[in-house]
Amino acid sequence: MPETFLDSLVSADPAAVTPAARQQATTHASASRKPDVMVPIRSLGENHRARIASHLKALDKHDRYYRFGFSASDDQIDRYVNGLDFERDEIFGIYNRSLALIAVAHLAYAPDTGANRSAEFGVSVLPRSRGRHFGSRLFERAVMHARNVGVGKMYVHVLSENTAMLRIAGHAGATFVRDGAETEGYLSLPPATFNSHLTEMVEEKLAQVDYQFKVQARQFRHTLANIQQAWRGTDSAEKSG
Ligand SMILES: CC(C)(COP(=O)(O)OP(=O)(O)OC[C@H]1O[C@@H](n2cnc3c(N)ncnc32)[C@H](O)[C@@H]1OP(=O)(O)O)[C@@H](O)C(=O)NCCC(=O)NCCS
């Protein structure tokens, strides 16, 4: 039976939710909502394949189970990553200052069935970068992109114990259908607007600029380290000479 996110948070039995408890949960949820900070999320292409594989392999067994529904081995991750179709699907990522891929989301489109396009969302954030709303931001970004390409429904398959993912989808207004250990969440998306197209375009451009800055900063750090090493080499050669 469909269950709202609020119900699942407050009680296993929706009928037992009192207005006071509902109010408390709503207040808690809105009080802990993320600050309005822009996170540079960029669309990833073919040249990021190896880094996507490294990102996923950095997840432990438990996280892989949450992400894929089974504890994927490194070989299975390689097969998944090699099978990613960057032309058909959309892959989003967040890079940190050292150019480590700390979060990845995959928006996979269902085979085109005409008017009712749908897509499935999957995401992972490296443990050390969690709790900073990167998962939520990637979900929002995927929703915006899905709308902009005419998707009407976005699905997420989650293990019922995966509170963080349930919260992410729940805040966005997903409806959940629980089936034992698994829960399917779905979100009906409104049609795209001029504003949603413009926002996505601007966010993508900013994320690409941010990425280029990080690449240049890393090159600068390498150059600086090489110069320092060369100086040290000259210094010790002079002393010994
Ligand atoms: C699920 C996952 C992507 C969340 O990433 P994240 O960046 O830490 O998530 P956010 O910071 O956006 O947090 C989302 C919400 O969950 C809550 N949350 C985060 N971690 C939580 C945890 N361990 N237990 C309970 N709630 C948690 C946050 O407080 C936040 O709630 P709020 O918006 O009401 O404050 C990350 O934990 C992960 O990669 N897990 C392994 C893979 C996975 O489960 N993928 C999802 C299935 S596709």
Ligand 1 contacts (CB < 6 A) are 29, 32-33, 63, 66-67, 122-125, 130-136, 158, 162-165, 167-168, 171
Residue 130 Cα to ligand 1 middle (Å):
7
Protein residue with least CA distance to atom 22, ligand 1? 164
What's the pLDDT band for 48 if we cut at 50, 70, 90?
Answer: very high
Pocket-testing residue among 65, 165, 171, ligand 1, by greatest number of atoms within 8 A of Cβ:
165
Protein residue with least CA distance to atom 21, ligand 1? 164
What residue segments make up the domains of the chain, in order of their start?
A: 36-230
What's the pLDDT band for 112 if we cut at 50, 70, 90?
Answer: confident
Residue 206 Cα to ligand 1 middle (Å):
25
Residue 24 Cα to ligand 1 middle (Å):
21
What's the pLDDT band for 241 if we cut at 50, 70, 90?
Answer: low
Protein residue with least CA distance to atom 4, ligand 1? 135
Residue 20 Cα to ligand 1 middle (Å):
26
Q: Which CATH class is domain 36-230?
A: alpha beta
What's residue 111's pLDDT?
Answer: 83
Residue 30 Cα to ligand 1 middle (Å):
16
Question: Does residue 26 register a pLDDT over 60?
Answer: no
Work out which ligand 1 atom sits closest to the CA atom of 62. Answer: 41
The predicted model gives 73-94 an average pLDDT of: 97
Strands 153-159 vs 118-125: parallel, antiparallel or unpaired: parallel
- For 123-139, write each residue's pLDDT tens digit: 999 999 999 999 999 99
Pocket-testing residue among 133, 139, 154, ligand 1, by greatest number of atoms within 8 A of Cβ:
133
What's the pLDDT band for 151 if we cut at 50, 70, 90?
Answer: very high
Least Cα distance to 65 among 124, 134, 140 occurs for 124
